[in-house]
Amino acid sequence: MVVKSGSKSKSVEAQEPLFVPNANDASSATQDERLYNEILDAILDHRLSPGIKLKEDELADIFSVSRTVVRRALLRLCHDRIVDIQPNRGATIIQPDVSKAREILRARRLIERELVKEAMQFATPSALDNLRVCVEGERDQVRKHHVGSGLRLSGDFHVQLAQLSQNTTLIGYLKELVPQTSLIIAMYQTPHHTLCSHQEHFDLIDVIQSGDVEAAQSMMEQHLDNIEAKLDLGNERTAGDLYAAFAHVK
């Protein structure tokens, strides 16, 4: 194949359409991911509250996607224990109670104390830079008052940090707990309080970089303690409306 300067990408695309058969799959996966993030952000942003029914036909209409895509996104949210799916009743947002919230945070303290220690063995400068980029994304969303996506990205930071370790078992447990924690924070956080503080995430990365394992473990525990200490138990919310929650899409 002769590739002339300046026309390389066009020539390659024209002669090697290798990815075409997978294009629909890729686009469908992207749609799933987008819908998952949109619904999760709306829940974490209080545009959707526990009790509201997530109707497949309405979501398909709002996001102009097939009901299959909606179903896949809802199944993933169900797997993450954000929504509950019952036969003939459809999907509803889960309302974790306070004792469940405390149980999850207790489990996270145990798991993440160990994970941060194991992650430090593999925390290269470039891995830590990637973590900082993750926290910058979280900070940017919070500054734009996109509370839902800020909260989701703060959860991503904990997962990304854990993934530096090689402990796939504990990473698996943490991945189960993080979305539920985000839901709990969204439901019970004190107004105007950023519970999973991005500044604490930056500080944690600095301590990890210093190599002081005990200090990093203490800081992680303190960070999770701070979240629990600020839970507000009297913060009831009412169910919303799917079209109002996603008004920016249509």
Residues binding Zn ion (CB under 5 A): 196
**Closer by beta carbon to Zn ion, 70 or else 196:** 196
Cβ of residue 184: shortest distance to Zn ion, in angstroms? Answer: 13
3-class DSSP assignment, residue 189: strand
Cβ of residue 228: shortest distance to Zn ion, in angstroms? Answer: 12
Distance CA 231, CA 210 (A): 31
Cβ of residue 230: shortest distance to Zn ion, in angstroms? Answer: 12
Cβ of residue 200: shortest distance to Zn ion, in angstroms? Answer: 6
Quote the tokens at residue 23.
């294009």
Looking at the DSSP bridge assignments, the partners of residue 90 are 86
Task: List, in sequence order, every beta strand (DSSP E) within the chain.
Answer: 53-54, 83-86, 90-93
Sole residue written with tokens 């924690």: 181
**Closer by beta carbon to Zn ion, 52 or else 196:** 196
Residue with nearest beta carbon to Zn ion: 196
Contacting residues for 39 by C-beta, under 8 A, at least 6 apart: 48, 54, 59, 73, 74, 77
Cβ of residue 155: shortest distance to Zn ion, in angstroms? Answer: 8
Separation in Å, CA 192 to CA 110, 142, 144, 189: 28, 11, 14, 8
